Amino acid sequence: MSKSFKQNGKKFGKRLGMQTLEEKAMMAGDVAVSVSGGDLIINEAADSIGGDQQVQVSQLENGKLRVQGLNGTQIETQAIIYNRELGRRERITIHVDSLDYNVSGGIDVDLGEGRDNFTTSAGGPTLSTQFMDIDMGDGNDRDFVALRNAAVDEQVNITTGGGNDSVSLHTVQVGEGGDNDGDLTIETGNGQDLVSMYKVGVSDDVVIDMALSQSLAERDTLMMNQVAIHDDLEVDFGGGNDKFDFFYSSVDEADIEAGAGDDDVVAIGSVADDFNYDGGTGTDEFWAFYSNGVDTNDIDLDLSSAVRRTYGQV
């Protein structure tokens, strides 16, 4: 584990290969991590504003959460040392590759501007937390969020700001099951964004807002595969030739606003008590997959400015 520390305005530490820590900071930003009121707080470090932070959180067997910096990002924290020259203890700032924390509440992440990555580990025990609030900043940059192997008691809020961003949820449960205040909200801002959900359960509502820009040059993509939403789904794509893959998933009521552009919804083996699809302007289509002449979906469809198509073995 490489470490460095600051004292009296000077930075001391080991070299990372042939690079100084100052050179490293130009490539990757560090994060400041703390626990407040039982919540894990992850922010970009004061000397790394606008940097490219890459952070992973994982659940350990002992119940703690590990925060690990990736690809040059380090964890900034405070330590107490004894200064022999002055004969007293002093608080210093150190940078380490990872640290473990006791967390009884939720996870609050704010990485600011920059090309940031926030992920949870796909391996090991399921990450369990009360809530997740993830803010990747307002800059027009490329952010990446991947939540994997996680169980969240209450809400999950993800905001990526501008740029061509990617949000992925894989094997995630939001809410404790049933109608239990487990909302999932994703806002991606402008840019050509991708939201992908696989094996996800949500005990309340899902709101996905990709509509900050009405530019026809943008193509946003939403992919749901084996997603179970207990209550309602609201999606706003904004402008652009957007696509929604709705595969082997279920929802009570869905409201899809596609906006300007040529938009497609493709449904395979899915269930919806009420599916409202407003295509806006452009050539908009709802594609239902058939097998042996039978619609694989059980969807009560209400189309506005869109047409229904079929494919497969009709």
Mean pLDDT, the chain, whole residue set:
88
pLDDT band at 24 (very low <50, low <70, confident <90, very high): very low
For residue 277, tell me if it sits in a domain.
yes
- Containing domain of residue 135, as a range? 131-312
DSSP letters of 271-288?
EEEEEEEE--SS--EEEE
pLDDT in tens, 80-120: 888 888 889 998 888 999 999 999 999 999 999 889 999 99
Q: What is the largest CA-CA distance in the chain?
A: 85
For residue 51, tell me if it sits in a domain.
no
For residue 257, tell me if it sits in a domain.
yes
For residue 98, tell me if it sits in a domain.
no
Judged against a pLDDT cut of 60, whether residue 27 lies above it is answered with: no
Smallest CA-to-CA distance from 202 within 144, 132, 265 is with 132
pLDDT in tens, 150-195: 999 999 999 998 889 999 999 999 998 655 578 999 999 888 999 9
* Confidence (pLDDT) at 139: 74
Percent of the chain at pLDDT above 70?
89
pLDDT band at 216 (very low <50, low <70, confident <90, very high): low
For residue 25, tell me if it sits in a domain.
no
In SS3 terms, 66-133 reads as EEEECCCCCEEEEEEEEECCCCEEEEEEEEECEEEECCCCCEEEECCCCCCEEEECCCCCCEEECCEE
For residue 308, tell me if it sits in a domain.
yes
Distance separating alpha carbons of residues 273 and 250, to the nearest angstrom: 9
* Confidence (pLDDT) at 180: 56
For residue 240, tell me if it sits in a domain.
yes
What's the structural domain count of the chain? 1
Cα–Cα distances (Å) from 224 to 6, 84, 227, in that order, read: 47, 60, 6
For residue 2, tell me if it sits in a domain.
no
pLDDT band at 48 (very low <50, low <70, confident <90, very high): confident
* Average pLDDT value for residue range 250-258: 96
Whole-structure pTM value: 0.88
